[in-house]
Chain A
Amino acid sequence: MKKTIRFRLNGRPTSLETDEDRTLLWVLRTDLGLTGTKYGCGAGLCGACTVSVDGKATRSCRTPLKAVEGRQVLTIEGLASGKELHPLQAAFVEQGAFQCGYCTPGMIMNAHGLLLEKPHPSRQQIAAAMEDNLCRCGAHARILAAIEAASRAGGRP
């Protein structure tokens, strides 16, 4: 049903008049032009579409737009402050924690949710939290190392 949906997107108030049952993923990627959030499976099985909703890592392909009404949505595009990369982003670059890069935004946003909840997780806890984010290139070892490095670096999660 067509409705006006309001939420904060990467810190800015956003308002859309559209079908409230559309998924957040495709609204982000089409109407809002934020293509950093990726389609990978459309069923919440791969994590490429992960964004943050009120600080919680959320699969945007399984999230209807109406579910983010009044909430804070953060996407990969909103993570850096200006030119300064977020510690997670900096750690991913530093550790070479990506190859093709397609799963990377989802990996970073999922890790972002983890570090908000648990700022200093063990490597096992990181692996468990990242378990349902898929990477086909096999960058797993470096992704774990990057999240560990970012959590050690502390700073704002």
Chain B
Amino acid sequence: MSAPLQLDRRSFLELLGGGILVSVSVGADTLLAQDRRRAYPTDVNAYLLIGQDGRVTVFSGKIEMGQGVLTSQAQMLAEDLGVALDSVDMILGDTDRCPWDMGTFGSLTTRMFGPALRSAAAEARAILLQLASEQLGAERAQLVVENGVVSVKGQPSRKVTYAQLAKGQKITRVVDEKAVLHAVAEFKVMGRSPKRLDGPAKVTGKAQYSGDIRLPGMVYARLVRPPAHGATLANVNTSAAEAMPGVTVVNQDGLVAVLAQDPEMAEAALAKVKAEWTPGPAGADQDGIFEELLAKAPQPEVRTAKGDLETARGAADRRFESTFQKGYVAHAPMEPHTATASMENGKLTVWASTQTPFPTRDRLAPLLGLEPKNVRVITPFVGGGFGGKSAGEPIEEAARLAKITGKPVQVAFTRAEEFFYDHLDPACVVKIASAVDAGGRITAWDYDVYFAGDRAAEVFYDIPNVRLRTFGGWMGGTNAHRFSVGPWRAPGANMNVFARESHIDIMAAAAAVDPLEFRLRNTKDERARRVLQEAARKFGWTPARGPSGRGFGIACGIDSGSYAALAAEVKVDRAKGTVEVVRVVCAQDMGVVVNPVGATMQVEGCITMGLGYVLREELHFKGGAIGDQNFDTYELPRFSWLPRIETVLVPNDALPPQGGGEPAIVPMGAVIANAVFDATGARIFRLPMTPDRLRAALARAEPKARSG
């Protein structure tokens, strides 16, 4: 095992303080304001409790939103503690019971929390072995552990169980030695693919989400919402709603809500509230937004500057300039943001669909005038997050209403509210100016990114003259956006990889070089070369200059420490302007793989979800008014869109586990755009590639094709 896993436990945990929040670019202001000295605890009891029945309860501040970390964390714990996977019970995202955690995002659970959890398990194993050694009167070296039973090697009857040793108590003994994690070759539980532990609950309807919490006397709230962002409430009349039996109205500090014993009654009451709104300023729609954003762009930050761009471009054989655009994309989790709050004896408990239970607790406490210890956030199963559940109004609203009314209150977004209040993936623009020499080598790369930040923007191609500038990040910042924006599965990386890998293809085609060959010719990055070659091999890639008419595309991205190369085949219906994605192959190098099937499921999820932002998904709006209220206008990927998906996990056991929830989605824009180009000669510069835009691109490509 290399780097982080060799650190001793204490210095690793110390590493987790300080810089971490900065290095992962959390974005949300609330997270950045977190106490930066916070770190994972060193006490093993913070992570696990061995019950008298032998079951092991694991405490983790991470949350399960579909990514499979309930299972993978249990695997890691079971591996290094030496217990059976089915003896592990997971408690996730409960601020009163779990060790502090900044939140579940950035594909960090396995990369960052994993080592802390594993070293706690390994330390607990060392202590338990010491206790067993004393009890059995045998040398430590003579002891073996299997499924929570310690026995003397060759004498299986001389044994003692973890349950007998721990007696259901906290482990107070300390051993003065470095806890050693199991090496890959020793893995019994990690590196395998047990069935997901949350399966039985999820297929029987027993799995609880925040909206499934039922408390005695609980009421459902609906809030008065503006018709458009920027509108302000001029006047509100709630008397008709107040007159309804069983309805409570709250109108306090900007919160106007109706509460009733069932959500439909609350909805009926809301319909009786008369609200007058002063409209906000007019503004652009989804087509005019790019011009508006460029006009509002802040001064650039230079992230990379090397060589001499001017001279290189002057001397170049060929010069290229492209501008790429992408609209606002919604998270659209199937579970809308939901929170259930209860105030009892001065203590607030909130069940919330959130990716950030601890920051949520710390935000709620001052809001309600409570000590943080008097706020408990419990995170049941989360019905999809994708970055969009890092924040969420219903949490504050439910908490405030519970305090005001003294009743348990549930606030759940309707689908329309979910679209309206989503912290969207921002609309953004990338401009690239580059040059290639006569040998097909890239000599200059001038990259300006507006409102997508620099995640995955660094080029892994060997280019001597490079400038990379960011104009505003994906968090917005300069009030450039009319709506809230925030992290969306690999924030900014989807745009950066779409732009870079499309532009690379443009250069390859102009140089009349096969796009795979062009990439390999221009990079010595071994991990990039390997995933590209593996994807090509699995795909059955044969070299051809584009457009070959075959509809093949290739693209590569680096995200969350992992490399993902995709190869795709598409069919284009020229008349309809539609793209059928027939096949996508992914080769991913993510270091040590904790659960290969789980990792494969994430790759499949990335590819399937990625089809959405590439082909159809963008928010429709005019000024601050949102045009999408439901899935009739905002189209998610469906079963009929599904390509054949093949995943190759490229072995790399020398590297500790890297992120798996995001890398494979980032090359989706480019791989499909490149395949469309290969099929038709038409280049896509704006996502999503709606039928209108694709037909326009085809029309632009037509004269060029004729003139040869």
Q: Which residues on A are within 8 Å of B, measured CB to CB? A: 22-23, 26, 29-31, 33-43, 45-46, 48, 75-77, 79-80, 85, 88-90, 92-94, 96, 98-105, 108, 126-128, 130-144
Q: Are A100 and B639 in contact (CB under 8 A)?
A: no
Closest chain-B Cβ to A2's Cβ sits at a distance in Å of 12
Number of A-B contacts (CB under 8 A): 176
Q: Are A80 and B204 in contact (CB under 8 A)?
A: yes
Q: Are B335 and A38 in contact (CB under 8 A)?
A: yes
**Cα–Cα distance between A94 and B196 once the two chains are bound (Å):** 9
User: With A41-B415, A100-B65 known to touch, is A138 a contact of B639 (CB < 8 Å)?
Assistant: no
What residue in chain A is nearest B629 (Cβ atoms)?
A43
Q: Are A38 and B334 in contact (CB under 8 A)?
A: yes
Q: Are A41 and B631 in contact (CB under 8 A)?
A: yes
Closest chain-A Cβ to B187's Cβ sits at a distance in Å of 20
Closest chain-B Cβ to A117's Cβ sits at a distance in Å of 17
User: With A23-B264, A45-B630, A139-B601 known to touch, is A77 a contact of B645 (CB < 8 Å)?
Assistant: no
User: With A100-B384, A137-B605 known to touch, is A33 a contact of B332 (CB < 8 Å)?
Assistant: no
Query: What would 9 A/B residue contacts be, using CB atoms closer than 8 Å?
Result: A23-B264, A40-B335, A43-B631, A93-B200, A126-B639, A134-B334, A137-B384, A138-B604, A138-B607
Closest chain-B Cβ to A24's Cβ sits at a distance in Å of 11
Closest chain-A Cβ to B63's Cβ sits at a distance in Å of 11
B598 contacts across to A, CB distance below 8 A: 96
**Cα–Cα distance between A128 and B382 once the two chains are bound (Å):** 28
**Cα–Cα distance between A75 and B658 once the two chains are bound (Å):** 40
User: With A104-B202, A140-B642 known to touch, is A42 a contact of B196 (CB < 8 Å)?
Assistant: no
B332 contacts across to A, CB distance below 8 A: 136
Interface size of B in residues (CB-CB distance below 8 Å): 59
Q: Are B212 and A85 in contact (CB under 8 A)?
A: no
Q: Which residues on B are within 8 Å of A, measured CB to CB? A: 65-68, 195-196, 198-209, 211-212, 214, 261-264, 331-336, 381-386, 412, 414-415, 597-598, 601, 604-609, 630-632, 636-640, 642, 645
User: With A33-B214, A46-B334, A100-B382 known to touch, is A138 a contact of B606 (CB < 8 Å)?
Assistant: yes
Q: Are B204 and A98 in contact (CB under 8 A)?
A: no
User: Of the candidates A92, A100, A134, which one forms a contact with B203 in the assembled complex, judged by CB atoms under 8 Å apart?
Assistant: A92
What residue in chain B is nearest A101 (Cβ atoms)?
B202
Q: Are A105 and B205 in contact (CB under 8 A)?
A: yes
Closest chain-B Cβ to A5's Cβ sits at a distance in Å of 15
Q: Are B609 and A127 in contact (CB under 8 A)?
A: no
What residue in chain A is nearest B385 (Cβ atoms)?
A100
A98 contacts across to B, CB distance below 8 A: 66, 196, 199, 202-203
**Cα–Cα distance between A132 and B196 once the two chains are bound (Å):** 26
User: With A26-B263, A93-B195, A100-B334 known to touch, is A77 a contact of B204 (CB < 8 Å)?
Assistant: yes
Q: Are A101 and B207 in contact (CB under 8 A)?
A: yes
A131 contacts across to B, CB distance below 8 A: 638-640
Q: Are A144 and B639 in contact (CB under 8 A)?
A: yes
User: Of the candidates B66, B67, B414, B607, which one forms a contact with A42 in the assembled complex, judged by CB atoms under 8 Å apart?
Assistant: B414
User: What would 11 more interface pairs be, CB under 8 Å, given A42-B630, A46-B631, A139-B605?
Assistant: A40-B336, A46-B334, A89-B203, A93-B200, A94-B195, A96-B196, A100-B383, A101-B198, A105-B205, A135-B334, A143-B639
B412 contacts across to A, CB distance below 8 A: 39
Q: Are A48 and B204 in contact (CB under 8 A)?
A: no
B198 contacts across to A, CB distance below 8 A: 101
User: With A102-B335, A140-B608 known to touch, is A35 a contact of B205 (CB < 8 Å)?
Assistant: yes
A127 contacts across to B, CB distance below 8 A: 639-640, 642
B263 contacts across to A, CB distance below 8 A: 26, 30
B386 contacts across to A, CB distance below 8 A: 136
Q: Are A134 and B381 in contact (CB under 8 A)?
A: no
What residue in chain B is nearest A43 (Cβ atoms)?
B630
Closest chain-B Cβ to A67's Cβ sits at a distance in Å of 15
What residue in chain B is nearest A45 (Cβ atoms)?
B631
**Majority secondary structure, A binding face:** loop
Closest chain-B Cβ to A100's Cβ sits at a distance in Å of 3
Give the interface centre of A31, A77, A138 by most chain B CB atoms within 10 Å.
A138
A40 contacts across to B, CB distance below 8 A: 334-336, 415
User: Of the candidates A23, A46, A75, A103, which one forms a contact with B205 in the assembled complex, judged by CB atoms under 8 Å apart?
Assistant: A75
**Cα–Cα distance between A133 and B597 once the two chains are bound (Å):** 24
**Cα–Cα distance between A47 and B571 once the two chains are bound (Å):** 29
Q: Are A103 and B262 in contact (CB under 8 A)?
A: no
The 7 closest A-B pairs by CB, nearest first: A36-B205, A138-B608, A102-B383, A100-B66, A99-B66, A101-B202, A138-B605
**Cα–Cα distance between A84 and B351 once the two chains are bound (Å):** 30
User: Of the candidates B636, B639, B642, which one forms a contact with A136 in the assembled complex, judged by CB atoms under 8 Å apart?
Assistant: B636
**Cα–Cα distance between A23 and B385 once the two chains are bound (Å):** 27
B336 contacts across to A, CB distance below 8 A: 39-40
Closest chain-B Cβ to A137's Cβ sits at a distance in Å of 5
**Cα–Cα distance between A128 and B631 once the two chains are bound (Å):** 18
A134 contacts across to B, CB distance below 8 A: 334, 631, 636, 638
B331 contacts across to A, CB distance below 8 A: 136
**Cα–Cα distance between A39 and B353 once the two chains are bound (Å):** 14
B642 contacts across to A, CB distance below 8 A: 127, 140-141, 144
User: Of the candidates A43, A79, A102, A140, which one forms a contact with B209 in the assembled complex, judged by CB atoms under 8 Å apart?
Assistant: A102
Closest chain-B Cβ to A91's Cβ sits at a distance in Å of 9
User: Of the candidates A35, A48, A75, A130, which one forms a contact with B212 in the assembled complex, judged by CB atoms under 8 Å apart?
Assistant: A35
User: With A93-B200, A99-B66 known to touch, is A77 a contact of B205 (CB < 8 Å)?
Assistant: yes
A139 contacts across to B, CB distance below 8 A: 601, 604-605, 608
What residue in chain A is nearest B381 (Cβ atoms)?
A101
User: With A77-B204, A127-B639, A127-B642 known to touch, is A136 a contact of B632 (CB < 8 Å)?
Assistant: no
Q: Are A85 and B335 in contact (CB under 8 A)?
A: no
B606 contacts across to A, CB distance below 8 A: 138
A22 contacts across to B, CB distance below 8 A: 262, 264
Give the interface centre of A30, A75, A98, A102 by most chain B CB atoms within 10 Å.
A102
What residue in chain A is nearest B208 (Cβ atoms)?
A35
Closest chain-A Cβ to B196's Cβ sits at a distance in Å of 6
**Cα–Cα distance between A105 and B202 once the two chains are bound (Å):** 8
What residue in chain A is nearest B418 (Cβ atoms)?
A41
User: Of the candidates B214, B604, B631, which one forms a contact with A142 in the assembled complex, judged by CB atoms under 8 Å apart?
Assistant: B604
User: With A138-B608, A140-B642 known to touch, is A96 a contact of B597 (CB < 8 Å)?
Assistant: yes
What residue in chain A is nearest B605 (Cβ atoms)?
A138
User: With A40-B334, A45-B631 known to touch, is A140 a contact of B203 (CB < 8 Å)?
Assistant: no
Closest chain-B Cβ to A56's Cβ sits at a distance in Å of 19
User: Of the candidates A41, A85, A105, which one forms a contact with B630 in the assembled complex, judged by CB atoms under 8 Å apart?
Assistant: A41
**Cα–Cα distance between A22 and B264 once the two chains are bound (Å):** 7
**Cα–Cα distance between A100 and B383 once the two chains are bound (Å):** 5
What residue in chain B is nearest A34 (Cβ atoms)?
B205
Closest chain-A Cβ to B514's Cβ sits at a distance in Å of 29
**Cα–Cα distance between A5 and B661 once the two chains are bound (Å):** 47
A140 contacts across to B, CB distance below 8 A: 608, 637-639, 642
User: With A43-B630, A89-B204 known to touch, is A99 a contact of B639 (CB < 8 Å)?
Assistant: no
**Cα–Cα distance between A90 and B202 once the two chains are bound (Å):** 11
A142 contacts across to B, CB distance below 8 A: 601, 604
What residue in chain B is nearest A77 (Cβ atoms)?
B205
What residue in chain A is nearest B64 (Cβ atoms)?
A100
**Cα–Cα distance between A37 and B214 once the two chains are bound (Å):** 14
Q: Are B604 and A48 in contact (CB under 8 A)?
A: no
**Cα–Cα distance between A120 and B204 once the two chains are bound (Å):** 23
User: Of the candidates A43, A85, A99, A104, which one forms a contact with B601 in the assembled complex, judged by CB atoms under 8 Å apart?
Assistant: A99
What residue in chain B is nearest A100 (Cβ atoms)?
B66
B204 contacts across to A, CB distance below 8 A: 36, 76-77, 79-80, 85, 89
**Cα–Cα distance between A132 and B635 once the two chains are bound (Å):** 11
What residue in chain A is nearest B414 (Cβ atoms)?
A42
Q: Are A128 and B640 in contact (CB under 8 A)?
A: yes
Closest chain-B Cβ to A96's Cβ sits at a distance in Å of 6
